[in-house]
Amino acid sequence: MNVDAAVAAAAAIAGLCTGVIAMLAFRWSERDQARPTRSSLHTDAVLPPGVDTVLSVLRSSAVVLDEADAVVKASSAAYALGLVRGGKLAVEPMLQMARDTRRDGEIRQVELDLPRRGTGRGEALAVSARVAPLGSRLVLLLVEDLTEARRIEAVRRDFVANVSHELKTPVGALSLLSEAVMDASDDPEAVHRFAGRMQIEATRLTNLVQELIDLSRVQNDDPLEDSEPVRVDELVAEAIDRCRHQAGTKQITMAAGGTADLHVWGSRGQLAAALGNLVENAVNYSPARTRVGIAARHITAPGGDLIEIAVTDQGIGISEKDRERIFERFYRVDPARSRATGGTGLGLAIVKHVAASHGGEVTVWSAEGQGSTFTLRLPEAGAVRDRDPYSDHTLLEPHESLSSFPDDTLPAREVRP
């Protein structure tokens, strides 16, 4: 009995001690939670009222530094740009600006090129940094990313320079030829010859201006505003008609085939211009008495069904180093040949923009001396298709050229000049 009483007394004492310890722990926890932390001091007590809210809605990267150069507040964009690391401002020129501003209270601004995080290619990140005092103890740093703006400015500058050069060539030629006509006014044969050259240069100038207008239009217009189902057969027929004269002059046979009754969504005018440019290039860069093939087919893709239009020629081909740049504005593989054919260097750039604005793409396969295949892929319009199971064998695969096909397996419809 005495043993049971002793055990009961020990249990009561243990329970009492546990309760006391739990109560003390609870009180200690409440006191610890009520104690201001360093972060709460920075964001609540140190920052002036409303500053935290303003910084959260700014598009610029924002960093607030205290008198010890510690980061009090930083936006997520500042971390993404790599401005803040380990609670410190990681860019030394910006840190020095903050110290100078804290000392004299003057607002400072500078543009810097910073190494881009996560790339080993040495790409620079162009930023504009502005430092201003925030109260008596803090300094505010605002950083604006100028990389994209600089890239656009460089593209615009190059475009203006290229346009000026391209316009200057035919204009200068017209000026010289007009002087030659005046000097040869008593020689009808020379006047006739110079007048013919003037017509050529005037046509080149007209084509350049028109393609500049077309490029501006496809870059600014939204093709979905006036989109409609467009028959691929009609686009192919229109492209062939556009190049019939050039093909006839060089005795080039244009062969059209593939799956019939296909439709794509988009602007008929833009799509016709894009396909016409591809066919025109194929004719211009093909030797005499060769063939240019235009074939269309339906393909299934993960993002939705596509219509693929391939334009294949037996031309001079494109080298590997040039294939990466042929869609750039004013880029020419062979400038001398472009002058002979009247090319402006804008045709493929227009094709690229039209394809992209319609949710598609344009690709190229080519080998020097074997010809080229330009493939335009566009979303299908979704019309009901009655496919001919025997039509796809006439299609030209990207790795094939017309020379690999016997005469009896070329696309079904041939348009001879």
Write the pLDDT tens digit of every residue in 68-88.
888 888 888 888 888 888 888
35 vs 252, higher pLDDT: 252
Tokens representing 327 are 């869609």
Interacting residues of 339 by C-beta distance below 8 A, sequence separation 6+: none
Q: What is the dihedral of CA 297, 301, 303, 308, to 10 degrees?
A: -20
Return d(Cα 366, Cα 400) in angstroms, integer: 9
pLDDT the model gives residue 20: 52
Q: Which CATH architecture has domain 223-415?
A: 2-Layer Sandwich (3.30)
Return d(Cα 356, Cα 272) in angstroms, integer: 15
Q: Where are the alpha helices (DSSP H) in 243-267?
A: 244-249
Residue 382 has pLDDT above 90, yes or no: no
Q: Which CATH class is domain 41-145?
A: alpha beta
Kindly indicate the confidence band of residue 5, based on its pLDDT and cuts at 50, 70 and 90.
Answer: low
Residue 301 has pLDDT above 90, yes or no: no
Kindly indicate the confidence band of residue 404, based on its pLDDT and cuts at 50, 70 and 90.
Answer: very low
pLDDT the model gives residue 344: 59
pLDDT the model gives residue 415: 45
Kindly indicate the confidence band of residue 327, based on its pLDDT and cuts at 50, 70 and 90.
Answer: confident
Q: Which CATH architecture has domain 147-220?
A: Orthogonal Bundle (1.10)
Residue 54 has pLDDT above 90, yes or no: no
Domain ranges of the chain: 41-145, 147-220, 223-415
Closest CA to 275 of 292, 294, 250: 294
Return d(Cα 331, Cα 273) in angstroms, integer: 19
Kindly indicate the confidence band of residue 18, based on its pLDDT and cuts at 50, 70 and 90.
Answer: low
pLDDT the model gives residue 347: 79
Return d(Cα 44, Cα 36) in angstroms, integer: 10
Residue 244 has pLDDT above 70, yes or no: yes
pLDDT above 70 covers a percentage of the chain that reads 69
pLDDT the model gives residue 294: 94
pLDDT the model gives residue 85: 85
- Residue 272: CB atoms within 10 A of its CB come to 19
Question: Per-residue pLDDT averaged across 299-313, rounded?
Answer: 89
398 near 391, Cβ under 8 Å?
no
Residue 338 has pLDDT above 60, yes or no: no
pTM listed for this prediction: 0.51
* Amino acid of residue 411: P
- Residue 160: CB atoms within 10 A of its CB come to 10
Q: Which of 238-242, 324-328, 337-341 has the highest mean pLDDT?
A: 238-242
Return d(Cα 207, Cα 346) in angstroms, integer: 10
The dihedral of CA 98, 102, 103, 104: what is its sign?
Answer: positive
Residue 129 has pLDDT above 80, yes or no: yes
Indicate the average pLDDT of the chain.
76
Q: Which of 124-128, 166-170, 397-401 has the highest mean pLDDT?
A: 124-128
Tokens representing 163 are 């346009």
Q: How many residues does the chain have?
A: 417
300 near 333, Cβ under 8 Å?
no
Kindly indicate the confidence band of residue 306, based on its pLDDT and cuts at 50, 70 and 90.
Answer: very high
pLDDT the model gives residue 416: 45
- Please write the tens of the pLDDT for every residue from 208-235: 777 777 777 666 666 566 678 999 999 9
Which element (helix H / strand E) includes 299? strand 291-299
